Amino acid sequence: MNTSDSSILTKRYKQIISAVHIVYRLVNSTPNLRELSLRLTRLVCQFVHASSASIYLLGPDRKKLCMIASFNNQINILTANRCEFKKVSPKEMAVVSGSSVFEKRLMGMPLITDECIGAMIIKRKPSEPAFDEYDREMFTIFAEQAVTAIRNLQFFEQQQKIILETMRLIQTLLDRQGPGLRSHSSVYFKIVRQIAMRFRMGQEAVNGLYYASILHNAGALDIPYQILSKKGVLSKEEFAHLRSLPEKSAALIRPIEFLRPILPVVLSLHEHYDGSGYPAGLKGDAIPLGARIMAVVDAFESMVQGRP
């Protein structure tokens, strides 16, 4: 092997290592499967110099194929189009069935863990050079990294779904605990979301406000029903129980890793702008923005509904 060949080989191995490293970083920085898929299609086009890339995933019933992301070197497309198997081309069907396809201007790799969960397909235009052996090697390695990343996020999103269903169950139980704990109207979070977006809060932060709107009173499950349902003036001891609500709610949320970012909001929803609230007596801008937004919307909803 001459010096020139050695230099080319070294460069290629560096590119492969770089691809693996970037996919690893994507997994740790991308919050959801659809966003990850968008980024993967864009990256594979850059690394393999493809003109387009698509990622398909099988539905839970394994009877439908969904192209969830596509990139054509000009625009990144997020799609929810579901395709029946009969509408998929024979080449795409072969890849989804578990067979790799390597042609001059089309390559497809099945995304396989313990079973095939989908496919990644890249293409070049007729006017572009054909894929070579190095392109095939790079694409294979990239697809292997991608399927691990996709599967991990699928498991994570499934766990989130279970947790959210549990959260809704908790809210149902809270609705029965006392009139002061009844869940907000369907309009409540729509207003919260619109205000949060006006303040340029990111989607992940906005999602956090949704979780907080459901769970901020979760600690009430540990407060006597007689206190929560009491209509008269609370005694000093009873009010002390009520003041412990934010910490009790936070204690229930803290063990759930993806909910930890909402802890400051949950702990601050009973703070007042003048510093007279609890538990920490925060005031002004020291109160997290999300908590301030939710408090304002809660006050608005109370006035509209005639709540005290």
**282 pLDDT exceeds 80?**
yes
Residue corresponding to tokens 């605990």:
177
For residues 242-266, average pLDDT: 91
**Looking at residue 127, what is its pLDDT?**
93
- pLDDT tens, position by position, 118-130: 889 999 999 999 9
**85 pLDDT exceeds 70?**
no
- pLDDT tens, position by position, 61-83: 776 778 888 888 766 655 555 55
Average pLDDT value over all residues in the chain: 81
DSSP string covering 194-224: HHHHHTT--HHHHHHHHHHHHHTTGGGGGS-
Tokens of 254: 């803290």
3-state secondary structure of 117: strand
**All domains of the chain, ordered by start, with CATH?**
3-156 (3.30.450.40), 178-305 (1.10.3210.10)
Give the number of C-alpha atoms closer than 13 A to the C-alpha of residue 232, restricted to the C-beta side.
4
Q: How far is CA 45 from CA 17, 135, 146, in A?
A: 16, 11, 13
- Look up the pTM and report it: 0.59
**296 pLDDT exceeds 80?**
yes
- Backbone φ and ψ for 32, nearest 5 degrees, come out as -145, 160
**264 pLDDT exceeds 60?**
yes
Tokens of 34: 């659809």
Distance CA 282, CA 251 (A): 20
DSSP string covering 226-282: HHHT--SPPPHHHHHHHHTHHHHHHHHHTTSGGGGGGHHHHHHTT--TTS--SSS--
